[in-house]
Homo-oligomer: A and B are copies of this chain.
Amino acid sequence: MSQRIRLDLSIILQKATELVDENGLDHLSLGKLAEELQIRPPSLYNHLDGLNGLKQKLAVNGVKKLYEYMLQAAVGRSGDDAIRALSEAYVEFARIHPGLYDATTRFPNSEDKELQQAQQSVVELVVQVLQAYNLKEEMAIHLVRGLRSILHGFTSIEKMGGFGMPIDIDKSFSILLNTYIEGIHSIVINKDKYELV
């Protein structure tokens, strides 16, 4: 008699996000998700293409949310200030959404056009911020890759508990960022040597 649930994708993704943020991406299962949603596991196949399809959708969703989060942090800022804001937002997002963040980096299909586009928009946001330094396009890409490496690396080592010693982790991040930014300045000053603009 209890009327059947009627779901849509956004509700499913929301619940799946809660689950992965609580229990980790590796513990995501269709059984548990279905239970939470009060449906039977096969019913999920009406909305998505199995567990891998779900992970893929989580990835896309996660990157889009990350982008929004970084964008909000960056608006109205420029130069070093904007880089710091972006970066802190990135790390903060991963702390708030550890499972969803994981999903953005471990997806089943990297050919997915929607995913690629979402990722690209993050890259472009950072490229825009770097325009303050008047770099050649190619150098800007190298530096974006560098910043991304820093952010992802720091984030995931923190998440795996890799910074064992009892020394302030936020300070480590702040120093890392400062060091990289100092390095960028030093590159900008030696434009000739690094053939930019």
Contacts and interface: CB of A to CB of B under 8 A. Distances in A.
Interface string A122-166: 000000000000000011011101101111111011001111110
A187 interface: yes
Contact of A160 (B110, B178, B183, B184): B110
Interface residues of A, number: 44
A183 B139 CA distance: 17
Interface of A: 105-106, 110, 116, 119-120, 138-139, 141-143, 145-146, 148-154, 156-157, 160-165, 167, 169, 171-172, 175-176, 178-187
21 contacts: A119-B162, A119-B164, A142-B171, A142-B172, A142-B175, A145-B154, A145-B169, A145-B176, A146-B154, A146-B175, A146-B179, A148-B157, A149-B154, A149-B157, A149-B176, A150-B150, A153-B156, A175-B187, A179-B184, A182-B182, A182-B186
